Amino acid sequence: MKLKKKHTSQNFEIVDSIGKYMDDDIQRIIEGKQLELGDRELPPFDEYRIYKNIQEAVMQEEKRKNRRIRIPLFFKWAVACIIALFAVGAGYNFYQSRCEANLVYREVCAVRGEKLLVLLPDGSRVWLNADTKLTYPEQFAKYNRDVTLEGEAYFEIAKNKKSPFQVFAENVKIQVTGTCFNVKAYPSDKVIKTTLDEGSINIGHIRSRRPMQQILPGQTAVYEKRSNVIKIKTDRYHDDASSWKGNQLTFRNASLKEVLTTLQRHFDIEIAVKNEKIASFTYNFVCKGNDLNYVLEVMQSITPVSFKKISEYTCLLYTSPSPRDS
């Protein structure tokens, strides 16, 4: 039986295009070297059409009861090449996964009482507030730029649409291509706040299948850890979120606990509360963060509290005029 299927010049071009790489690839695999797949191009072809050609040839042969099925050599090559294509693709994905798994990570920590500026491998800049840890690879992967944040940081991200930049903070994922934003994600806080200054970002829960929510400049996304809910709001005081970069302390209707937590991080000091009754006080003020004594004087002018310095790194907070016992 003669098969009338034409072996077009395109078919042979495909086989030749694949075949010219096979010997080199086999040798590289034997030598334990990486496969260089990124720049290879094959002529356009229809994998399904080639498969149908093979299927039709087999079925025609099966109709002849007394003769053995003999698949033409070209079709054997076609099957082998299709399998090779899938194998090479899977191998490339596996190789990419291996490369990402073998990334070397760097951990930068800003301890209490200090701030740091970090330059990332892609040219992005990250300011770390006090008591903050940033983890990132020494070299980003080809198609993503992932970092992990614990604490507070301000990001200025270099634009790269082909390689999204992602910040992971506990259960929150923030995805950008190039923009400026602030993330406050201290483990002890009940919420994670993300405030956008420029561009746009998408935010969502790491394990959620729901579409990520978009944030626009001037908006703040508040993730409530207890309920796993993200709420987006427009805040006229959104500039306050990153005021710490300029060594400014800003409090808007902040509880005493919030204020003391910030001061302890900023000045690397412990502040003990003598009387729990003052825990209900709230504060609204803005001041420079250079002098702890000045900040304490501002607080004393707002509420009836006094401070006593016990040691270089410890203060006692109590209700005025003075504690009965020290």
Residues 263-305 pLDDT 10s: 999 999 999 988 878 888 999 999 998 899 999 999 999 999 9
Instruction: Tell me what pLDDT residue 236 has.
Output: 87
Of residues 65 and 170, more confidently modeled: 170
| 128-136: average pLDDT | 97
Enter the CATH code of domain 105-239.
2.60.120.1440
What CA–CA distance (Å, rounded) separates 326 from 308? 9
**Cα-Cα-Cα-Cα dihedral sign, residues 33, 38, 39, 45:** positive
Find tokens 């992967």 and name the residue: 141
The residue among 142 and 99 whose pLDDT is bigger is 142
**Alpha carbon separation from 82 to 19, 57, 86, 110, 264 (Å, rounded):** 12, 17, 6, 53, 64
User: Does position 142 have pLDDT exceeding 60, yes or no?
Assistant: yes
The CATH code that applies to domain 247-319 is 3.55.50.30
**Ranges of each domain in the chain:** 9-101, 105-239, 247-319
Has residue 22 got a pLDDT over 90?
Answer: no
Over residues 49-53, mean pLDDT? 58
81, pLDDT greater than 50: no
CA dist list (Å): 7 to 170, 184, 185: 58, 64, 63
CA-wise closest residue to 242 among 294, 169, 177, 180: 180
At 234 the pLDDT is 93
Exposure on the CB side of residue 52, measured as CA atoms within 13 A:
4
Structure tokens at 191: 């919420």
- Per-residue burial over 151-161, b if 16 or more Cβ lie within 10 Å, else e, is bbbbbbbeebe
At 221-250, the pLDDT tens digits run: 999 999 999 999 998 888 999 999 999 999
pLDDT of residue 188: 94
Say if residue 26's pLDDT is above 60.
Answer: no
- If you write DSSP's letter for every residue of 251-282 in order, what string do you get? EEEEEHHHHHHHHHHHHT-EEEES-GGGGG-E
In this prediction, residue 178 carries a pLDDT of 83
Full-model pTM: 0.68
pLDDT classification of 167: cutoffs 50, 70, 90 = very high
pLDDT of residue 176: 93
> Which pLDDT does position 71 carry in this prediction?
45
